[in-house]
Amino acid sequence: MILVTGASGFVGRHVVRDLAVDGVRVRALVRSARGASVLEGIDCELVRGDVTDPASLLAAARGVRTIVHLVAIVAGAPATFERVMAAGTGNLVEAARESGVRRIVLMSALGTGPGATVPYFRAKWAAEQAVASSGVEHAVLRPSFVFGTDGGALPRFLKIARLSPVTPVIGPGTQRVQPIWVDDLVRAVRLAAEHDGTSDPIELGGPEAVTWSELWRRIKTALGTRRPAMHVPFWLARGPAALFERLPPALLTRDQLRMLEGPDNVVGDGGASMRRLGLVELLALDEQLRRAAERQ
């Protein structure tokens, strides 16, 4: 039995579906009936719970061999990141130990580390530390941006590129990203769940690292549009971001601006950890964009 937390999220529902189709017994942790509805038609056991509720996690972890931990938030106050992602992972680790869980696969993120100052990355690092000190075999996955047709950032990017008279590129557009297709990420989760032992964090990215300017150009090519780009300096974007982060869903936050200003969001080991995991033949970026553009 595999327990998937964050099962109703973008990555979570892909993971649950992939495991269930392959005949794996899956227990999907959801917070609400609405979360359960997105898993309708998938052969899985639904269980209501929340990472901030230790009792619900203990109940969900009973009889489980492996936990795939995907819970994360992308906007909120620093205390909220701490409560949900950092302390929530600590709660899950305690439930795993008490229930005799043999393996934890944690979804972290490229950009996290001991010196992280952005609340999202800081909480991810705390989650990594909680899992590393758990005494349970584990794998930590650190992906770059995750692209897909039905969630994540890419559909929003496509909508902006298709409807906006100009394409707003935040900052100079020289920072690099390395988007990975959601199906490739799901394969990484499967491989990490099937492996034994504990290894260093596994950095995940697609076959190409591109600048933000190049990414926007390719998105527009996939859509067949030639709208001009307009660079928005980081300092000028902070005012609108302060407003947007108060309006759900948060289109852009000041923390996200700090992440964009930071180092390149690309794998730093040349793909070595992906190869050790067995993750090869990744979907090309232009094909990612083509598939997503077809769904617009």
Kindly give the pairing relationship between strand 137-143 and strand 26-30.
unpaired
Pick the CATH number of 146-180+205-266+281-296 from 3.30.70.660, 3.90.25.10, 1.20.1250.20, 3.40.50.300: 3.90.25.10
Which tokens go with 35?
A: 């979360």
* Cα–Cα distances in angstroms (integers) from residue 263 to residues 110, 114, 176, in the given order: 10, 15, 8
Report which of residues 199 and 122 the model is more confident about: 122
- Strands across the sheet with 202-204, in order? 45-48, 26-30, 2-5, 66-69, 103-107, 137-143, 202-204
pLDDT at 207: 97
Q: How far apart are the first and last CA of the chain?
A: 36
- Report pLDDT for 90: 97
pLDDT in tens, 6-26: 999 999 999 999 999 999 999
Do the beta carbons of residue 79 and residue 41 sit within 8 Å?
A: no
pLDDT attached to residue 137: 97
Q: Is the pLDDT of residue 250 over 80?
A: no
Q: Which residue has the higher pLDDT, 116 or 178?
A: 178
The residues of the chain that CATH labels 3.40.50.720 are: 2-143
Region 140-165: mean pLDDT is 94
Q: Which residue has the higher pLDDT, 248 or 123?
A: 123
CATH 3.90.25.10 boundaries in the chain:
146-180+205-266+281-296
As a dihedral over the C-alpha atoms of residue 242, residue 244, residue 250, residue 254, rounded to 10 degrees, the angle is -30
Mean pLDDT of the chain: 94
More confident residue, 3 or 244: 3
Is the model's pLDDT at 267 over the cut of 80? yes
- Report the C-alpha gap between 68 and 6 in whole angstroms: 9
Over residues 51-75, the mean pLDDT reads: 96
Most confident of 5-19, 230-244, 247-261: 5-19
**Averaged over 263-281, what is the pLDDT?**
94
* Percentage, residues of the chain above pLDDT 90: 83
Q: Which CATH architecture has domain 2-143?
A: 3-Layer(aba) Sandwich (3.40)
- Name the band, by pLDDT with cuts 50, 70 and 90, for residue 36: confident
CA 249-78-267 angle, 5° bins: 80
What is the pLDDT at residue 253? 86
Q: What is the pLDDT of residue 244?
A: 82
Spell out a b/e string for 166-202, using b for 16 or more CB atoms within 10 Å of the CB, else e: ebebbbebebbbbbbbbebbbbbbbbbbebeeeeebb
Q: Which two tokens stand for residue 228?
A: 């001009």
| Mean local confidence (pLDDT), 116-122 | 92
φ, ψ of residue 4 in degrees (nearest 5): -115, 115
Angle, CA 7 vertex, CA 5 and CA 13 arms, to 5°:
150
